[in-house]
Structure 1
Amino acid sequence: MQLEQSSRETTAAWSGTVPSAVDVRVLGLVVVTAGLAASINVPYGGLPMAAVAFALLASGGGALHLLGERKLRRLTDDLVERWVAAGGKIDGVTRSSNGMETAWHVHTPDGEIVIGGVALVPITRLSIEWQGIGDTMDASEAEANIDHLAESLYREIFELGSATQQA
């Protein structure tokens, strides 16, 4: 399993890596929230206390986003690797972000699978969408049951999906 650091990879051939997806919008939300929370300290502790509170909250929120992104990227990588090992054809994996959700698009001959979620621990949730049908679960639950999840999704997407499109 390789996790690539570059967020600019958009190749069409599966290279064995899932691009990074650090999202500046989520980081911006963290900074704004930290600023608002720190501003409460100005009347009580003054500007030095507000600056310390801002630094702690912003760095903590940034770390939580990085942990959430890493968890989602690792889940995406694990799913794709298991699908490839089971015989599924993957053309490529690209990243995108819509709203506050970070997503990876897994390109297959049968269509596009979107794997993503909100990358902010402890509320990190994994969402998977294929042909307009989606499912969402807690990322920790998905990580604990990755083998079963990959197997059931493989059957649904690659075996049943291929049979449905050929009919």
Structure 2
Amino acid sequence: MQLEQPARETGWNGTVPNAFDSRILGFVGVTAALAASLNVPYGGVAFAVAAFGVLAAIGVVVHVLGERKLRRITDGLVERWASSGAEIEDVTRSSEGMRTEWTVRTPNGTVTVGGVALVPIARLSVEWQGVGDSMDASEAEADLDHLAASLYEEIFEIQAAA
């Protein structure tokens, strides 16, 4: 006689939420305003306003591209972990300082995946049980299968063996 295990209900719907971060956009706006203000003595107010517009637009694009890259990596990691048998309870957006983060809740603990969402300097960081590691986001995206497998082994298999 075999007992049926009750199906576990999860809060995760299979997607990673967006993380458009207003703090980074504020930082971009302040930086663009400071850079544009340097143009006032040389090109006048009209030139400074135009410079602000260009710099702010570039900053927004850089943030959007960085956020999308980090979100794709996070989504790829969580998807690969779930397909390998890990139980994902929920994925929520969180933030700390100037970092854009997602909190992945599992029965084994909380995994925080994120980084700075500005595309030329985007770095991915993964933290679990107080131990973190970071790497260039482009490097992580290029080797996502290996990264997901090594993190799965560290987070889910070692915990199950203990």
TM interval, short-chain normalised: over 0.9
Determine the structure 2 residue equivalent to 1:8. Answer: none
Partners of 1:27 and 1:131 lie apart in 2 by 30
Q: Kindly report which structure 2 residues correspond to 1:47-126, keeping only aligned pairs within 5 A, or say none.
A: 47-126=45-124
Shift of 1:13: 1.2
1:9 equivalent in structure 2: none
Which residue of 2 is the match for residue 136 of structure 1? Answer: 134
CA distance in 2, matches of 1:133, 1:156: 11
How far does the alpha carbon of each residue in 1:77-100 deviate from its partner, in whole angstroms, 9 at most, with x for none? 000000011111100100111110
One-letter identity of the residue aligned with 2:110: E
Q: State the 1:154 CA deviation.
A: 0.5
Alignment of 1:25-40 (within 5 A): 25-40=23-38
Distance 1:40 1:59 in 2: 18
How far is the alpha carbon of 1:156 from its aligned partner? Answer: 0.6
Deviations along 1:78-128, whole A, 9 cap, x unmatched? 000000111111001001111101110000001000000000110000000
Residues 1-52 of structure 1 show CA distances to partners (whole Å, capped at 9, x for unaligned) of xxxxxxxxxxx61111000011100000000000000001100000110001
Q: Percent identity?
A: 64
Aligned residue in 1 for 2:5: none
In structure 2, the gaps of 5 or more residues are 1-9
Summarize the alignment of residues 2-17 of structure 1 with structure 2, pairs less than 5 Å apart.
Answer: 13-17=11-15
- CA deviations on 1:113-160 (whole Å, 9 max, x unpaired) are 000000011000000000011000000000010000000000111100
**RMSD, aligned CA:** 0.7
Q: Write the distance in 2 (CA, Å) between the matches of 1:121 and 1:143.
A: 13
Report the counterpart of residue 158 of structure 1 in structure 2.
156
- The answer on 1:19 being equivalent to 2:11 is no
| 3-state DSSP of counterpart to 2:121 | coil
Q: Normalization by structure 2: what TM-score?
A: 0.93
Structure 1: gaps (5+ residues): 1-11
Runs of 4+ in 1 over 4 A off after TM superposition: none
Task: After superposing the two structures, state which structure 1 stretch, 34-43 or 155-164, moved more.
Answer: 155-164
Corresponding pairs, count: 153
TM-score of the pair, normalised by structure 1: 0.90
1:102 counterpart letter in structure 2: T
